[in-house]
Structures are given as C-alpha cells and as structure tokens.
Amino acid sequence: MIRFTFPFLFLVSVATSALADLDSLKRDVVSNYANLVHANYADALVEAVNLQGALTAFANEPDEAGLAKARMAWISARLPYLQTEVFRFYAGPIDDDDGPEGLINAWPLDEAYVDYVEGNPSVGIVNDTANFPEITKELLVSVNEKDGEENISAGFHAIEFLLWGQDENADGPGNRSADDYITAPNADRRKAYLLAAGELLVENLEHLVAEWAPGQDNYRKSFEAAPSSESLKKIITGMSMLAGFELSGERLLVAMETRAQEDEHSCFSDTTHSDVIYNAKGIANVWEGEYGNVKGAGIDDLAKAVDADLRKKLRKTIQEALKLSKQIPVPFDQAILEENGRASILAVVETLEDQADLLVELSQKLGFEVPTSETDS
C-alpha cells in the first residue's frame, strides 16, 4: 500500500492543477469576451453617430449627393453592428425583455407601414397625418411591431427603406429620389422620420455600450461575476443560435426556398451578401477572442483544452463559413433565383448547420448544452 501512496498523490495533484488551469482559462475567456463585446458595440455606436450626422446633413440640405453620402454611411454603420449579432439569443442587454434589438435590426419590414409604395402613394406613417400628426422617436417606439411583426417602424431597415426605397431593379438596389425630401408630398415629414430614426438608433446603441462598459454597475458586472460555466453557456449559445438558426435558417434558407426578394435581409440596399459575411465574421471573432485591438482567450483556446480533435473540426467550419459567405453572388436577390447562386447559399447553410452541431458537442464537453433553434431554447 505504501508503494502507491506517492504516485497516487502525484496524480491527484496533477488532476487538481489541470482543473485549476481550466477554470482559470474559463474566467479569461469570459473576461476577454466582455472586452470584445464592449469594443464591438463601441465601434457600432461610432458608425451610427456618423450615420446620424449624414442623415442630418442630408435633411438640412437634401440633394442627390447628400443622399448618396447618407447611403454610404448606412452601409458603413452596418459592418460593425452585424458582427455584434453573435451577442444575441441569451437574454443579454440586446434582447432581454426590455432589450432594444427590435428597435435596431428588426425585419422583414412592411414598406407600406412606413411610407408610400408603388401603386399606393398615400400609405405609411409618413403620409398618415391624421393618426400621426407629429413624427418623433417616441412615436416610432410606440408603433414598432404594433399589430404585426412586420410593422417595423424603427432601426436600420426603416432607415434603409427611407434612403433607398423599394428595390424594383433586378441588377441593383432601390433608387429613391432626393425629390422625396424636397418637393414630394410630405417631404418634411419624411425628413423628420429619418432624423427621429437616426437619433433613436444612436440612443439604443449608447445603451448597449453602457451595459458592457468596464468598471460599472451594469450587465457586464453580473456577467463576469457569475459562475464561468453560466457565462460560457451564454457565449456559446450566441454562436450556436446565430449559426444554426438565425443566419443559416431565417436569413439564408428561407429566402432560398421562397425565392422572394422580400425575404432577404437588406433588400432595399442590396447588401444582404455583406450581412452574411459580417455575421460569420462575428462568430469567428468570438471563436478567436479577437476584435480590433482586443486580443485574448477565445472559445478556440477552450476547445483546444477540452478536446483537440473537436477544436480542429470547429475551426474548419468557422473558417469555411466565412470563406463560403464571401462567394455568394451579388446581388443576393438574384442569387436565390439562379442555380449557381442557390448552390453557393446552400453550401453556407450546410456549413453553418455543421458548425452549430459541433458547438453543441463542445458545450456538452463543458458540462452544459446550448440550443441551435428557438424550439431547443
């Protein structure tokens, strides 16, 4: 018996040390994730402020050049925000019961709820002076998703529609004229709508930046103070739900199956291809633990520590999804109609679904299980 005492104690010591190292790594991943989230939302806010400035300049002196600048500012504002969507799906500050997600990026949008559409020039909040005598950000909040989930009045896609109008072109985006803000009926109300929507977008992103700011009594404080497995489950849930449900299903597969332009994510500006790329990039950011100047422990490090083979499989699907997303033909509304385009989209869908399944496997290795669809959560 004495002969086995020291080897036994040595093995116990090694196992205890390994558990301590893994626990330390988990805490590092959670802490670095919080840094990454804050930096990403901060960039999204900067670009939203730039967009608000472009909208204000255009509203003050509307012309085609100002409209073009506002459109470019909208596209630029989308790029950091799309990468933040991996921070959704776990009742964080973006999409808890009081979260602003529905006021930031809700879609699909019923154009006629906001402004005129072809064949019906008098519909929409812009043209309904009787029920909406004044257009304010408070009004936009009160009527957003009222009486239907497509009754979107605020956020990126409401602004997108106000800048581009309906997309009636097979080879390009919508082509709203600056005259809609100069001589068209209710031009001043349309300007008021644009300004209110821009201001509201900035305010909602300010809220998210504040909730993830370091050293504050906010969501981030409770997120970092919680047991590391609890916070890791949230992190991996964001990844698995974006990959396995939102991006692969709602944004890609639905549009591919219906072949309907109305089902693409950014249909007015024809930038849906960019949405796919930067959503996939957001997942890769969390996996690597890197965004901008933030660099630290990521889910990749955690996967390597618990199952090196699984880590290799996951890394491959994450890299492949990003690569394949860049190969989807532009514009997306034509890709869903053509054989090559549909094959390209399906390849992304299948890779994202594989990725989500592997994330579930990783979560099980860590002692919990994450969903890949709303029915699982």
pLDDT digits (tens, 9 = 90+) for 125-171: 999 999 999 999 999 999 999 999 999 999 999 999 999 999 988 88
Quote the pLDDT of residue 1.
47
Amino acid residing at 237 = T
Quote the pLDDT of residue 375.
78
Quote the pLDDT of residue 17.
61
Q: Is the dihedral of CA 264, 197, 77, 101 positive or negative?
A: negative
Quote the pLDDT of residue 170.
83
Nearest Cα to Cα of residue 332 among 280, 275, 250:
275
Quote the pLDDT of residue 169.
85
Nearest Cα to Cα of residue 283 among 348, 346, 352:
352
Q: What is the DSSP letter of 253?
A: I
Separation in Å, CA 363 to CA 18, 102, 150: 19, 28, 34
The number of CA neighbours under 13 Å toward the Cβ of 159 is 32
Query: What pTM value is reported for the model?
Result: 0.94
Low-confidence residues in the chain, pLDDT < 50: 1-2, 4, 9-11, 13-15
CB atoms closer than 10 angstroms to residue 309: 8
Nearest Cα to Cα of residue 299 among 23, 33, 20:
33
Angle, helix 156-164 to helix 187-211, in steps of 10 degrees: 150
Amino acid residing at 102 = G
3-state DSSP helix/strand/coil percent for the chain, to nearest 5?
Answer: 65, 0, 30
Nearest Cα to Cα of residue 345 among 364, 330, 358:
330
User: Which positions ≥6 away from 187 have C-beta within 8 Å?
Assistant: 62, 180, 181
DSSP character string of 262-320 = GGSTTTTTT-HHHHHHHHHHHHHHHHHTEETTEE---HHHHHHHH-HHHHHHHHHHHHH
* Strand partners for 290: 295
Asked if residue 225 lies in contact with residue 361, where contact means CB atoms within 8 angstroms, the answer is no
CB atoms closer than 10 angstroms to residue 255: 23
DSSP character string of 193-248 = HHHHHHHHHHHHHHHHHHHT-TTSSSHHHHHHHS-HHHHHHHHHHHHHHIIIIIII
Nearest Cα to Cα of residue 280 among 234, 346, 349, 373:
349
How far is Cα 211 from Cα 51, in angstroms, rounded to an integer?
22
